[in-house]
Structures are given as C-alpha cells and as structure tokens.
C-alpha cells in the first residue's frame, strides 16, 4: 500500500494468531477464550484483530470497555459474543442491547436498567454478573452476589449467562494472594449459580492468570496483553511462548552534517561534541513516540542502533548518526521492532518510560496508519 505518512505501525496478525493458538494449546479445547480488544485492540486494531480471531477460530468471545467499541465491532460485521467488561450507564444500555453486547451488571440499579433497556430495544438483554473479590474497583460484593443473581433471573427480558471477577495481582511473583482470591471466587460463583438455578459461564483469568494460575482457567479465560505478545509483568512466568504483535516504523526525512558545538532541537538540550551527521525523522510525541525519549531513546537503521538527540518534538525527532554514515534520506527507521539482528522491544520502552507495555501500545496515535500483515 502507498503510505501518505511515513510513520506507521505494522501489525503482525500472524503473530497474534499464533499467540492465541498457544493459549488454546495451554488451556485446552474445552475452555472458551475471550480476547480483550478494548482500546482499539491495545492499539493494534480492534476490528482487524477480531476479524482474524473469528476467521481463524482462535477465540469465542470479544471483550470491550465501552458501548461504542462494541457497536463498532457489530457494524464491522463481527458475530462473536461481545462482553462489555465494566459498568454501563442507563442511557447507554439500549444501544448496547440493540447491538447484542453483553452487559456486566454490578448492582440492582444496573439490573433494573438492563430490564428497561431490553423492553425499549425489543430484545433480551444478555448480562454477566460482576463480583468484586479483591480488585476493589467495580462489582457486587461476594455476600450480595447471590441476591443479585436471583433478582436478575426474575427480571423480564434479562438473560443471566455468566459470572466473573477480576484479579489484581495475578502477574506478581508471589502467587499466594491470587490463589486465595481464586478460591473465594469459585465459592462465590457456586453460590451465584445456586441462586440462579442454572449453570453459568464462570471466568476470571486475565493474562497473568493464564500464564501462572491454572486453577483460574474455569470455563473461560480472558487474555489481554499477552495476545499482543507481552507478559503483563517481568515477574510473570513465561509459560506460553509469545510473539510481538506490533512494529513501529518511519523513514529518514532529512539529513545534514553539523559542526561540533551545534545545538539540536528545542531548548538546545544537546550540543554536538564533534562533527556529526544528524538525521531527522517524522515521528514525535503526537505519534506516541514519547517526549521522555529526549536525549535517551534510540532507533534502529540498517540493523544498527543510534541515539536520539535533542528533545522529541510533536512531529519530528533527531538522531545522531556519528561522524561517518551511509544512511540516506528515505531509509527505514525502526522505532519499535526488529532491524536485521537488532531489536527494540516494547518492554524496553516501558522500562525507559517508567510504565507498562499496555500503555506503550495504547498510546500509538490514531494518525499513525496501521498496516496489517496477512495471517
């Protein structure tokens, strides 16, 4: 394809598919897999990742954070069940129900609103009961969960199909707290199913739990960051092989030789210590190439690593090529990914930025064109 903006993300859909197949091989064919495609598939393209998963049969459910995310998937033709993972305001529910998005219900007020949305939409509202077992964010308490399940089962137009919770430290080195939480959730899920009078889809395993807590796998697992190629934390066991789902690339847009003592960029924060070549690249913090990389980040050109110099600008950044170079305008620049034998991994970005891989890929700007590899 012809790119009108050189800075682009290459999405390796084949790698994402392989990650999903590896997850399936680990958890077994009897369990369902829900893949988190919220936040535009963690920056990888929610529609394209979902289409790949549906076509390849590597997932049974999709997970979103907002009603518009679910509606977008339906408008793109996705048929897999979609679970909205957090609470929904009453005025959002009818659109969700009309799109066939399953709602997470955390309170009796949400339950009543779901019934009203079902009446207004003229179709049943599919819901899963969310139980708070230690995340402390959203969800009904374990003690109140059976009563809410009973209420949901009695409401006209409401179809209770599942019960779930979320694990806050499944990626930690010490497994003790998570093991105890899983045990509490299993008991809560049994009580909910007894109150509902039927078997429900029970699920709690996020990426950390898929990798480290087999007892959490239950009826369905919900991998997120790991389908895009990353463990949630360096301490999480690497029990399943993963391949990166994204590379971030651009090209040299300008090249000049500068004399020793020349300042580069805003604030004159870098002064050339010697005669050197400076390459300018059309990538900056508006693309998700963080300003914190100023004078400390690096890029790859022709399999070699080069330091960023001066402040990362909104739309451009500068690279010190050294006193001799064969780099030319138009040469490919790897910001994230592999060039020859050299590689810059998402984990390196996260460490330098003091954040997590989730934020790194989510912050790749919408103006950065996604180019999708075949799978």
pLDDT at 1: 58
CA–CA gap between residue 206 and residue 107 (Å, rounded): 23
- Residue 90 sits in the same domain as residue 205: yes
Q: Which residues, other chains included, contact 75 with Cβ-Cβ below 8 Å and sequence gap of 6+? A: none
DSSP assigned state of 65: S
End residue of a domain, out of 167, 195, 228: 228
Percent of the chain at pLDDT exceeding 70: 100
Shortest CA distance to 204 belongs to which of 172, 162, 150, 146? 162
pLDDT of 266 > 70? The answer is: yes
CA–CA gap between residue 305 and residue 314 (Å, rounded): 22
Q: Which of 38, 285, 358, 375 is catalytic?
A: 38
Percent composition of the chain: helix, strand, coil (DSSP 3-state, to 5): 35, 25, 40
CA–CA gap between residue 170 and residue 177 (Å, rounded): 8
pLDDT in tens, 173-217: 899 999 999 999 999 999 999 999 999 999 999 999 999 999 999
pLDDT of 328 > 70? The answer is: yes
- Residue 332 sits in the same domain as residue 297: yes
- Residue 177 sits in the same domain as residue 279: no
CA–CA gap between residue 281 and residue 148 (Å, rounded): 56
CA distances from 209 to 179, 187, 238, 374 (A): 10, 18, 12, 30
CA–CA gap between residue 309 and residue 320 (Å, rounded): 6
pTM, 2 dp: 0.96
3 state SS of 84: strand
Percent of the chain at pLDDT exceeding 90: 99
Helix 108-121 / helix 145-154 crossing angle, nearest 10 deg: 20
pLDDT of 43 > 80? The answer is: yes
* 217 bridge partner residues: none
- Residue 192 sits in the same domain as residue 74: yes
Q: Are 133 and 142 in contact (CB under 8 A)?
A: yes
- Residue 29 sits in the same domain as residue 124: yes
In a domain, 363, yes or no: no
In a domain, 372, yes or no: no
In a domain, 240, yes or no: no
- Residue 68 sits in the same domain as residue 130: yes
Supply the CATH number for residue 66's domain: 3.20.20.10
**pLDDT category, 3, cuts 50, 70, 90?**
confident
**Number of domains into which the chain is organized:** 2
Q: Which of 42, 266, 306, 352 is catalytic?
A: 266
Average pLDDT over residues 277-297: 98
Q: What is the mean pLDDT of the chain?
A: 97
pLDDT of 2 > 80? The answer is: no
In which domain, by residue range, is 159 found?
Answer: 13-228
pLDDT in tens, 89-109: 999 999 999 999 999 999 999
DSSP assigned state of 81: -
- Residue 144 sits in the same domain as residue 287: no
Catalytic annotation on 266?
A: yes
Average pLDDT over residues 262-280: 98
Average pLDDT over residues 41-67: 98
pLDDT in tens, 333-362: 999 999 999 999 999 999 999 999 999 999
Average pLDDT over residues 223-241: 96
The structure tokens listed for 337 are 């990914």
The structure tokens listed for 313 are 């600008």
CA–CA gap between residue 163 and residue 193 (Å, rounded): 8
Catalytic annotation on 256?
A: no
Supply the CATH number for residue 299's domain: 2.40.37.10
């Amino acid at each position: 394809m012809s790119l009108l903006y050189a800075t682009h993300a290459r999405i390796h859909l084949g790698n994402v598919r392989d990650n999903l197949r590896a997850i399936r091989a680990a958890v077994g064919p009897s369990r369902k897999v829900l893949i988190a495609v919220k936040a535009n598939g963690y920056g990888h393209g929610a529609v394209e990742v979902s289409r790949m998963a549906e076509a390849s049969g590597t997932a049974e459910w999709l997970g979103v954070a907002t009603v518009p995310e679910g509606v977008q998937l339906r408008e793109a033709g996705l048929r897999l069940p979609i679970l909205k993972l957090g609470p929904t305001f009453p005025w959002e529910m009818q659109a969700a129900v009309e799109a066939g998005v399953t709602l997470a219900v955390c309170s009796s007020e949400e339950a009543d609103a779901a019934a009203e949305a079902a009446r207004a939409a003229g179709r049943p509202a599919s819901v899963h009961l969310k139980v708070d077992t230690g995340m402390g964010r959203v969800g009904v308490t374990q003690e109140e969960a059976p009563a809410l399940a009973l209420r949901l089962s009695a409401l006209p137009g409401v179809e209770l199909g599942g019960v779930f919770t979320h694990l806050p430290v499944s990626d930690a080195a010490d497994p003790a707290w998570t093991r105890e939480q899983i045990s509490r959730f299993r008991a809560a899920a049994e009580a909910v199913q007894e109150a509902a009078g039927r078997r429900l889809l029970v699920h709690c395993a996020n990426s950390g739990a898929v990798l480290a807590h087999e007892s959490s796998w239950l009826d369905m697992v919900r991998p997120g960051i790991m389908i895009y190629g990353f463990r949630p934390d360096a301490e999480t066991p690497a029990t399943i092989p993963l391949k990166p789902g994204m590379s971030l690339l651009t090209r040299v847009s300008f090249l000049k030789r500068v004399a020793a003592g020349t300042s580069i960029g805003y604030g004159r924060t870098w002064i050339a210590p010697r005669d050197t070549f400076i390459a300018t690249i059309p990538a900056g913090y508006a693309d998700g190439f963080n300003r914190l990389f100023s004078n400390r980040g690096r890029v790859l050109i022709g399999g070699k690593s080069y330091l960023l110099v001066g402040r990362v600008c909104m739309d451009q950044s500068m690279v010190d090529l050294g006193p001799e170079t064969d780099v030319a305008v138009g040469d490919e620049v790897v910001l994230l990914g592999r060039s020859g034998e050299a590689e810059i991994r998402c984990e390196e970005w996260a460490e330098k930025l003091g954040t997590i891989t989730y934020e790194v890929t989510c912050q790749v700007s919408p103006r950065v064109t996604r180019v999708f590899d075949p799978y």
